[in-house]
Each structure stands twice: as C-alpha cells, then as structure tokens.
Amino acid sequence: MMKLVPIAPLDTDPVPDLCRACKARNRGICGALNASQLSELTRRAHRQVVEPGKTLLDAEQPTSNYSNVLAGVVKLSKMLPDGRQQIVGLQFAPDFVGRPFSPESSLKAEAVTSTVLCTFPRQLLERMISESPELEHKLYLQALDELDDARDLLLTLGRKTARERVATFLLMIARHSPHADGNDEGGTGFELPLTRAEIADFLGLTIETVSRQLTKLKGSDVIRVEQNRRIRVPDMELLEAETGD
C-alpha cells in the first residue's frame, strides 16, 4: 500500500520533516536548492511511503517521476529477455533515483525494504537543473560516486570467488548500516535489507551458492547469523580479509 502525502511547507511542518533534515544536512537534492526552488519543490513533491517490491522506475514504461530516498533501500536492476536478472546498484538515503536527460532509463528501480521517498515530477527536476548549476553539480557528484560503486561491483563480478563476493557484500551493507551497533555483545551487528535471492542477483550468483557461502563464513567464525536477516561480525578485519581486496 502506498501513501502519497504532499510534503509540508518547511516552516509550518509540525512533525520532523525528513526533507528539511535533508536540506539542513545538505544531502539529497534539497541541499542544493535556493529558497524559491525549495519552496516550489516542497509544493510539488510528495512524501511517499512504499512497501518492498514497489516499482519506482521501469525500463518498459516511461516514468514521469523521480525520487530522493529518504529512508530505506532501493535496488536498480537490469533484465535479459529470458528473465535472467542482475542488480546493478543499491541506493540508500539520501540518494537521488532517476536518470536525467534520458526519456527512458533502461533499468528498473524497486523498493527493497519499506522505503520513504520524496517524489517529484521529472520535468520539474530538469527545469531546476537548468536553473541551478549547484544542483547539477550535486547530481554530478552523485553520478561519479555511483560510477565508482558500479566499477567496484564490476571487479567483484568479474574476478572474485563466491566467498569473496558474499564477504564484499556483507561489508558493504555493514558500512551502510546506520545503526550498526558498536561492540556491545561483541562486534558489529546489522540487518540485511535484501533476501537471499536479491543478494544472489546482486552478486551474479545463485540463491543456493549465497546460502552455502554464508554457512561457510559462519563456520569460519567470520560472521554469526543471529536470524536469517540479522548478521553479527565479531571482528570486522576478519571480514575485510575475506573480500579479496
């Protein structure tokens, strides 16, 4: 079930406003907007809470909306005609999701977890970009970061073993985890936002291989699996040593 609520104007919003938080922390696209742009965005954007599986962008049909991730995780994936699938990127708050200057994006964006989004019309964004070099600069920086991420993943898919891939993935999630608890009860704990099937699609493996490698990492005392989705890493350096880099 998806909720669509206009984002309250900045000055009058009675509840903690994620978008304002974004602006204050200079994150997301809001961070790059001037007062009048921000007020226009605030009027025309919607705060959206979507459940896992909800599609934000689709390679097939043109989408007229872009989003900023305010909380949660979004996956970007590509599919072959015969159904084989590859996740080519994960977006965390406060990433921007969209492909400016191109009518259709060739990839699908889908909520992985329950996700809070700030959604706005594509054309509004593109107009704002043309008005605001600072906004474009911000988006450029994010694109460069995504490029770095994609290329790291290329190295992982092209040259790492299954065990190294899984370790690399766990490390990445650990580093993105907001509340990766410190060293209470030994080590760092975090929640996996993806199912095993999604991890497999991200790492270019099968679900069985992912499962087996997790079991083996557990056997080597690199990780503990507290629940299916809850992982604990007693010693982060041990995990890093498993990534191959």
Partner DNA sequence: TTGCCGCGTTGATCAGGATCAAGCCCCCCT
Partner DNA sequence: AGGGGGGCTTGATCCTGATCAACGCGGCAA
Using CB under 7 A as the criterion, which residues of the chain lie in contact with DNA when the complex forms? 161-163, 195-197, 204-212, 214-215, 225, 228-229
How near is the Cβ of 92 to a copy of itself at its closest, in Å? 17
Does the footprint of a copy of itself cover residue 109 (CB under 8 A)?
no
3 state DSSP class of 203: helix
Of the listed pieces 20-28, 77-85, 174-182, 213-221, which binds a copy of itself according to CB under 8 A? 77-85
Binding partner at 81 among DNA, a copy of itself, none, C-beta below 5 to 8 Å by kind: a copy of itself
CA distance 160 to 77: 20
Closer residue to DNA (CB): 1 or 15: 1
Does the footprint of a copy of itself cover residue 89 (CB under 8 A)?
yes
Of the listed pieces 10-18, 133-141, 209-217, 221-229, which binds a copy of itself according to CB under 8 A? 133-141
Q: Which residues contact 164 (CB under 8 A, 6 or more apart)?
A: 156, 242, 243, 244
Alpha carbon separation from 184 to 36, 177, 189, 227 (Å, rounded) = 46, 16, 9, 17
Instruction: Write out the H or E segment, with its range, that includes residue 92.
Output: strand 85-92
Binding partner at 159 among a copy of itself, DNA, none, C-beta below 5 to 8 Å by kind: a copy of itself
How near is the Cβ of 99 to a copy of itself at its closest, in Å? 7
For residue 99, give both structure tokens. Answer: 């492909």
CB 94 within 8 A of CB 70: yes
Q: What DSSP string runs through 163-192?
A: HHHHHHHHHHHHHH-TT-B-STTSSEEEE-
Does the footprint of a copy of itself cover residue 88 (CB under 8 A)?
yes
CA distance 241 to 163: 11
| Torsion sign (Cα): 22, 27, 30, 31 | positive
Binding partner at 25 among a copy of itself, DNA, none, C-beta below 5 to 8 Å by kind: none
Of the listed pieces 39-47, 153-161, 170-178, 221-229, which binds a copy of itself according to CB under 8 A? 153-161
Planar angle of CA 159, 98, 174, nearest 5 degrees: 45
Closer residue to DNA (CB): 47 or 108: 108
Binding partner at 140 among a copy of itself, DNA, none, C-beta below 5 to 8 Å by kind: a copy of itself
CB 121 within 8 A of CB 22: no
For residue 120, give both structure tokens. Answer: 């706005």
Total number of residues shown for the chain: 245
- Build a one-symbol-per-residue string for 185-214: x at contacts with a copy of itself by CB under 8 A, - elsewhere: ----------------x-xx----------
Of the listed pieces 39-47, 102-110, 117-125, 227-235, which binds a copy of itself according to CB under 8 A? 102-110
Closer residue to DNA (CB): 129 or 223: 223
